[in-house]
Structure 1
Amino acid sequence: MDFGICVASRPADIDYVVQAERLGFTHAWMADSQMIWSDVYAMLALAADRTSTINIGTGVAVAGTRIAPVTAAAIATINELAPGRTFCGIGTGNTAMRIMGHPPMRIAEFDEYLGVLSGLMSGDEVEYSWRGTSGPIRHLMADDGFVRFDPVPPLWVSAFGPRSLDLAARHGDGLITSVPPDPDTVASMRAGVAQLREAHGRPAGRSDFPIATLTTTCVLEPGEATDSDRVKEQVGAFAIAAMHYAYEQYAQFGRRPGSHLLDVWDDYVAAVEETPLERRHLRTHLGHNCWVIPEEERFVTRELIERSCLVGTADELRARVADLETAGLDQIVLLPPLAAKERVIADAARVLIVPTH
């Protein structure tokens, strides 16, 4: 099992990436959300300069805020700085678009975007349509030290639902998602992706298409409850971000949440909807994956924690990771809150990374 970190891009936290490399983490995924965090490519350039072994990339870049040629050039620039250890995670913008009051990129548009992006990242000439004009494009100075397309950075596509999973299988070199850390869920996703890859005529073996999932973890002390104050401090921000996502699905599509949210769901919706609709996009994702705002602390329940996060004793966590790996998961990406992030990854490395090597 590979272990990565997801970083809420902020230049002051570059030492955190250095720490993760030293602890044995294999990937650093830099988050891209322009209205809450720093610029992702500036952060990647810093990481490229300060690290030497850890894979670095976008986690994930937002297709709706940059045209495909810009994303390709940005990733290829990082690949020039960190050749062979750069990757590109790309998604439709479930957070970055919504916090500006816009929905994520539509599937048909994302399909076209991925086709152009994957071609350009390979250094190819592609047909590109923009502002009513179509024609061939390629990077004209690919061999002059501005960018690097060799080796080609892997393209990890962010996907959750069946249509986006199909695009990941068609265009991607890997899948980055965020599903409950449950072996049955992972096994079902692995089987489904293999079928989609085969349908698109792409290699369907596990080694051909890794799956990574975003979560966070906390190592329990003897007798500690999964909803103790310490656990909430270490996993609460990620858990409540799952609630934010559930609300967006409810607001846009009318989808009811899972049973683990039912006890608090009506109160949570009422709290969010105290903010007028025209300003609600400025409220829903407050503290997103960095901290829990005070008025949402009561919604970080045991059920939410256990559904979205890896929490257990050292032995329990090792067993759960082994089961997830057997089920078809290749990488666990940890996204702890800002205040506890160094402690979280140090504990995870001690319990999960060092014993596996």
Structure 2
Amino acid sequence: MDFGVVLQNNPPAWRTVDLARQAESHGFDYVWTFDSHLLWQEPYVVYSAILAATRKVVVGPMVTNPATRDWTVTASLFATLNEMYGNRTVCGIGRGDSAVRTLNGRPSNLATLRESIHVIRELANDRPVELNGRTVRFPWAKGSRLGVWVAAYGPLALKLTGEVGDGFILQLADPDIAAWTIKVVRDAAEAAGRDPDAIQFCVAAPAYVGDGDSPAARAHMREQCRWFGGMVGNHVADIVSRYGADSTVPKALTDYIKNREGYDYNEHGRAGNSHTTFVPDEIVERFCLLGSPREHVEKLEALRDLGVTQFAAYLQHDNKEETMRLYGERVIPALAETVVATA
């Protein structure tokens, strides 16, 4: 299993760069960031600095979208970073949430998402693509390689992911929901004539390492991560609006938003925000990874057994460095393949 961190591009930008450097030092393989240009700083500028300050980590957005950026510009950004730093980028993409809603826009439809994935992937992989009635290509991007991973929750978006995605991003860590989404993606890939085993499966969720046996410490961890249930609730509300409350989507995902009254994007992704009180403790525990290193390892083992190939830890809380350190010392080694010097 690979490991990543998910950071916000809060100023100063060098703080984000330093957290990425620490993540690599502790054994993480990926550094992801939010991509919402009104709420945070421009990620691609920061990616260049992260790549310059590190040696191996792969960087990319969790997630970008087809609406706020021209697709050819997005592809050019990735291809340029690849030329500069040696194919160490990944493109996470979805229909759009905070980046478009803060502009009073709407998420892209699935047809647009599908087309954008094709254009971005072809151009950033040094291949020509048909666009606006002509064939276009980057003449300077020789050797560029980019995987496009799709973030999804609903049945049709999951089907699209299986049909065209190099990877699947599920932004929550509930094993039951993960099992359902992974099956939908794998079935769609097989139906499309693709190899389901070739798809990367990334679960992304807040991870907070602390004293899981202390009620006070446990409560603090939940409050630091409750924002995540509110963020996921935005997507779940869209699913319920589209498919209804009695669709094939697991009630484990949809039931908890019944008391949701709204969302303030000015507090998006912020610990202690004021509009996620509707998220019950049970959801925080199910969607996130909280507690001792042993508890994290146990949940990650369950996810790995379902086919998850990467866990990406959101670090929007007050224990970033310590959580990364304990992952590096206790969690990541426990999930690593055992290799012995002599046998």
- Normalised by the length of structure 2, the TM-score is 0.86
Q: Does 1:2 align with 2:5?
A: no
Q: Does 1:352 align with 2:331?
A: yes
CA distance in structure 2 between the partners assigned to 1:335 and 1:217 by the alignment: 6
Which residue of structure 2 aligns with residue 276 of structure 1?
A: none
Which residue of structure 2 aligns with residue 161 of structure 1?
A: 154
Using the TM superposition, give the Cα deviation of residue 178 of structure 1 relative to its aligned residue in structure 2, in angstroms.
Answer: 1.4
- Kept in 1, the 8 Å contact 2:31–2:60? The answer is yes
2:149 is paired with a residue whose SS is: strand
Match of 1:121 among 121, 124, 139: 124
CA distance in structure 2 between the partners assigned to 1:68 and 1:7 by the alignment: 23
- Kept in 2, the 8 Å contact 1:226–1:311? The answer is no
- Kept in 2, the 8 Å contact 1:118–1:171? The answer is no
- Kept in 2, the 8 Å contact 1:233–1:340? The answer is no
Using the TM superposition, give the Cα deviation of residue 343 of structure 1 relative to its aligned residue in structure 2, in angstroms.
Answer: 2.8
CA distance in structure 1 between the partners assigned to 2:213 and 2:319 by the alignment: 21
| Superposed CA offset, 1:177-213 (max 9, x none) | 214421x3333333322221122222222xx111001
Using the TM superposition, give the Cα deviation of residue 51 of structure 1 relative to its aligned residue in structure 2, in angstroms.
Answer: 0.8
- Kept in 2, the 8 Å contact 1:181–1:310? The answer is no
- Kept in 2, the 8 Å contact 1:227–1:305? The answer is no
Q: Does 1:219 align with 2:198?
A: no
Question: What is the 5 A alignment of 1:81-96?
Answer: 81-96=84-99
Which residue of structure 2 aligns with residue 202 of structure 1?
A: 194
Match of 1:231 among 188, 205, 221: 221
2:143 is paired with a residue whose SS is: coil
| Superposed CA offset, 1:53-108 (max 9, x none) | 11112222221111211111011111122213211112211221122222100111
- Kept in 2, the 8 Å contact 1:244–1:284? The answer is no
CA distance in structure 2 between the partners assigned to 1:353 and 1:230 by the alignment: 24
| Superposed CA offset, 1:101-132 (max 9, x none) | 22100111112222222211221111102xxx
Match of 2:285 among 284, 291, 306: 306
CA distance in structure 2 between the partners assigned to 1:259 and 1:324 by the alignment: 16
Match of 1:290 among 257, 263, 270: 270
Cα–Cα, structure 1 residues 13 and 88, in superposed 2: closer, same or farther, change >3 Å?
same
CA distance in structure 1 between the partners assigned to 2:310 and 2:216 by the alignment: 23
Question: What is the 5 A alignment of 1:1-357?
Answer: 1-10=1-10, 11=13, 12-129=15-132, 134-140=133-139, 142=140, 148-182=141-175, 184-205=176-197, 208-221=198-211, 223-225=213-215, 228-247=218-237, 249=239, 265-266=258-259, 268-269=260-261, 272=262, 284-293=264-273, 295-296=274-275, 298-337=277-316, 339-357=318-336
Larger mean CA deviation between 107-116 and 19-28 belongs to 107-116
- Kept in 2, the 8 Å contact 1:90–1:157? The answer is yes
Unaligned runs of 5+ in 1: 143-147, 273-282
Using the TM superposition, give the Cα deviation of residue 260 of structure 1 relative to its aligned residue in structure 2, in angstroms.
Answer: 8.3
CA distance in structure 2 between the partners assigned to 1:251 and 1:203 by the alignment: 32
Using the TM superposition, give the Cα deviation of residue 36 of structure 1 relative to its aligned residue in structure 2, in angstroms.
Answer: 0.5
Using the TM superposition, give the Cα deviation of residue 259 of structure 1 relative to its aligned residue in structure 2, in angstroms.
Answer: 6.4
Cα–Cα, structure 1 residues 138 and 260, in superposed 2: closer, same or farther, change >3 Å?
closer
Using the TM superposition, give the Cα deviation of residue 152 of structure 1 relative to its aligned residue in structure 2, in angstroms.
Answer: 1.0
RMSD of Structure 2 on Structure 1 (CA): 2.6
Which residue of structure 1 aligns with residue 341 of structure 2?
A: none
Cα–Cα, structure 1 residues 92 and 170, in superposed 2: closer, same or farther, change >3 Å?
same
CA distance in structure 1 between the partners assigned to 2:150 and 2:276 by the alignment: 32
CA distance in structure 2 between the partners assigned to 1:100 and 1:26 by the alignment: 33
Using the TM superposition, give the Cα deviation of residue 254 of structure 1 relative to its aligned residue in structure 2, in angstroms.
Answer: 6.3
- Kept in 2, the 8 Å contact 1:121–1:149? The answer is no
Cα–Cα, structure 1 residues 188 and 96, in superposed 2: closer, same or farther, change >3 Å?
same
Identical positions, percent? 25
Using the TM superposition, give the Cα deviation of residue 174 of structure 1 relative to its aligned residue in structure 2, in angstroms.
Answer: 0.9
- Kept in 2, the 8 Å contact 1:227–1:301? The answer is no
1:123 is paired with a residue whose SS is: coil
Cα–Cα, structure 1 residues 187 and 336, in superposed 2: closer, same or farther, change >3 Å?
same
1:63 is paired with a residue whose SS is: coil
Using the TM superposition, give the Cα deviation of residue 341 of structure 1 relative to its aligned residue in structure 2, in angstroms.
Answer: 2.3
| Superposed CA offset, 1:230-288 (max 9, x none) | 3135423323323444455567776599568868843x41xx3xxxxxxxxxx622321
Cα–Cα, structure 1 residues 190 and 249, in superposed 2: closer, same or farther, change >3 Å?
closer
Matched to 1:194, the amino acid is R
Matched to 1:197, the amino acid is A
Using the TM superposition, give the Cα deviation of residue 291 of structure 1 relative to its aligned residue in structure 2, in angstroms.
Answer: 2.4
- Kept in 2, the 8 Å contact 1:28–1:56? The answer is yes
Using the TM superposition, give the Cα deviation of residue 300 of structure 1 relative to its aligned residue in structure 2, in angstroms.
Answer: 5.0
Unaligned runs of 5+ in 2: 337-343
CA distance in structure 1 between the partners assigned to 2:33 and 2:315 by the alignment: 13
